[in-house]
Amino acid sequence: MKTYLVTGAAGFIGANFIKYMLAKYPEIKIVVLDLLTYAGNLGTIAGDIDNERCIFVKGDICDRELADELFAKYKFDYVVNFAAESHVDRSIENPQLFLQTNILGTQNLLDAARRAWVTGKDENGYPTWIEGVRFHQVSTDEVYGSLGETGYFHETTPLDPRSPYSASKTSADLFVQAYSETYKMPVTITRCSNNYGPYHFPEKLIPLIIKNILEGKQLPVYGDGTNVRDWLYVEDHCKAIDCVLHRGRTGEVYNVGGHNEKQNIEIVKLTIQTIRQLMTEQPAYRLMLKKQVMDANGEIAIDWINDDLIIFVKDRLGHDQRYAIDPTKISTELGWTPETPFEKGIVKTIRWYLENQDWVAEIAGGDYMKYYEQMYSNR
């Protein structure tokens, strides 16, 4: 039975990853290490934790003693490091926390893995490693910086981070690569584009727009809304990590993306349209609206759910203009291709939010409201 340490799995992508892995591989054990920051929610994975195949440990990836203890106790074959501060806007407010978690936390895990996995030295003085172990770092396309109107991020594109978030993720990647070169540590890195799907914290664009529509609030679009992101359904990202972790070449970076570039304004308009469409097809969804005004047919009105809700607000500082991934390497080497077209993925995602408002209420409590007021009142 292979044992995985998965950090940050009470968050968006990590939670989707462990659900996917537990369903796909009956014979694995997963230990989740998560600090349960504002972005982590134990409720998201409560149904997965059975203390046999899936064990939860609340703790900090920066905690050396805890990391050593876990490696000694569970003898991990794999580490998949999702744990991070992940929101660019928050990194602009508090860069140091990003440095702490994303850089020092990753380096702490690398060291714990080194202490646990090294078996001796080869004739050149390089450490030798337990057969088959691997440290996988979950990274982002934001490490490459920002593109103009054309071109793609390739694995060879120079690293050029521009926000405190992307600077911290880049630095973590460099440490992972340094451990690969210096100690011959078996590592892989994936750099993925923007994810969307279930369990996405509503500070990020798509879930925030859905939440605001349901609450009858304005929809804040930064700047002129022409910034481009390359959107990938979260399960496709999980599949890519599974591929790279098990079949990727050690020491390599793989870009992950689905050639699905969209301007932010397009995403917002599409979300508005999709919610209206779903509420037309299935009027019961209208009960999810906070604002319940009756229309002429005696049904909860939805005609106000339109583009007039959009409000252009002050731009993000240093806002990257465009991200776009070239996924040729992972496709040709490992046969990975995205399976969920955006048109289907966005409907699935919105339907999930409409049907899981309890989850949103649980995760977006008082702290979220405080954050929202602070972040958006001065825009």
* DSSP bridge partners of 2: 28
Rounding to the nearest 10 degrees, give the CA dihedral for residues 89, 90, 92, 96: -160
Binding residue for ligand NAD, selected from 4, 5, 6, 13, defined by CB under 6 A: 13
371 a catalytic residue:
no
Instruction: Select from ligand NAD, ligand TYD, none the partner in contact with residue 37, using the beta carbon and a kind-dependent cut-off of 5 to 8 Å.
Output: ligand NAD
Query: Tokens standing for 188?
Result: 């892989």
Q: Are 357 and 288 in contact (CB under 8 A)?
A: yes
Q: How far is the CB of 166 from ligand TYD (least distance, A)?
A: 8
Q: How far is the CB of 105 from ligand NAD (least distance, A)?
A: 5
* Residue 205 contacts ligand TYD per CB under 6 A: yes
Non-local (6+) Cβ contacts of 300 within 8 A are: 283, 286, 287, 289, 292, 293, 294
Binding residue for ligand NAD, selected from 14, 186, 198, 202, defined by CB under 6 A: 14
Q: How far apart are CA 84 and CA 61, in angstroms?
A: 9
Instruction: Select from ligand NAD, ligand TYD, none the partner in contact with residue 168, using the beta carbon and a kind-dependent cut-off of 5 to 8 Å.
Output: none
Residues in binding contact with ligand TYD, number by CB under 6 A: 12
Q: How far apart are CA 34 and CA 257, in angstroms?
A: 26
Query: Tokens standing for 349?
Result: 């995602």
Span 266-305, contacts to ligand NAD by CB under 6 A: none
User: What's the N-to-C CA distance of the chain in angstroms?
Assistant: 52
252 a catalytic residue:
no
Residue-wise DSSP of 26-77: TTEEEEEEE---TT--HHHHTTT--SSSEEEEE--TT-HHHHHHHHHHH--S
Non-local (6+) Cβ contacts of 77 within 8 A are: 2, 3, 4, 132, 133, 134
For the four alpha carbons of 286, 292, 295 and 297, in that order, the dihedral sign comes to positive
Q: Out of 144, 165, 179, 323, pick the active-site residue.
A: 165
* Residue 34 contacts ligand NAD per CB under 6 A: yes
* Residue 137 contacts ligand TYD per CB under 6 A: no
* Residue 271 contacts ligand TYD per CB under 6 A: no
Q: How far is the CB of 143 from ligand NAD (least distance, A)?
A: 10
- Nearer CB in complex with ligand NAD: 106/180: 106
Q: Are 8 and 82 in contact (CB under 8 A)?
A: yes
Q: Out of 34, 48, 141, 173, pick the active-site residue.
A: 141
* Residue 61 contacts ligand NAD per CB under 6 A: yes
Q: Are 279 and 286 in contact (CB under 8 A)?
A: yes
- Nearer CB in complex with ligand NAD: 8/248: 8
Residue type, 284: A
Binding residue for ligand NAD, selected from 91, 108, 140, 170, defined by CB under 6 A: 140
* Residue 229 contacts ligand TYD per CB under 6 A: yes
- Nearer CB in complex with ligand NAD: 94/277: 94
165 a catalytic residue:
yes
* Residue 363 contacts ligand TYD per CB under 6 A: no
Binding residue for ligand TYD, selected from 145, 198, 220, 258, defined by CB under 6 A: 220
* Residue 232 contacts ligand TYD per CB under 6 A: no
- Nearer CB in complex with ligand TYD: 265/347: 265
Q: What share of the chain is helix, strand, coil (3-state, %, to 5)?
A: 45, 20, 35
Q: Which one of 58-66, 71-79, 294-302, 341-349 is the stretch in contact with ligand NAD (CB under 6 A)? A: 58-66
* Residue 79 contacts ligand NAD per CB under 6 A: no
> How many distinct helices (H) and strands (E) make up the chain?
14, 15
Q: Are 330 and 244 in contact (CB under 8 A)?
A: yes
Q: Are 109 and 79 in contact (CB under 8 A)?
A: yes
What are the residues binding ligand TYD (CB under 6 A)?
Answer: 88, 194, 204-205, 208, 220-222, 227, 229, 264, 316
What are the residues binding ligand NAD (CB under 6 A)?
Answer: 7-8, 10-14, 33-37, 39-40, 60-62, 82-86, 101, 105, 138, 140, 169, 192, 194-195, 201
Please give the positions annotated as active site: 141-142, 165
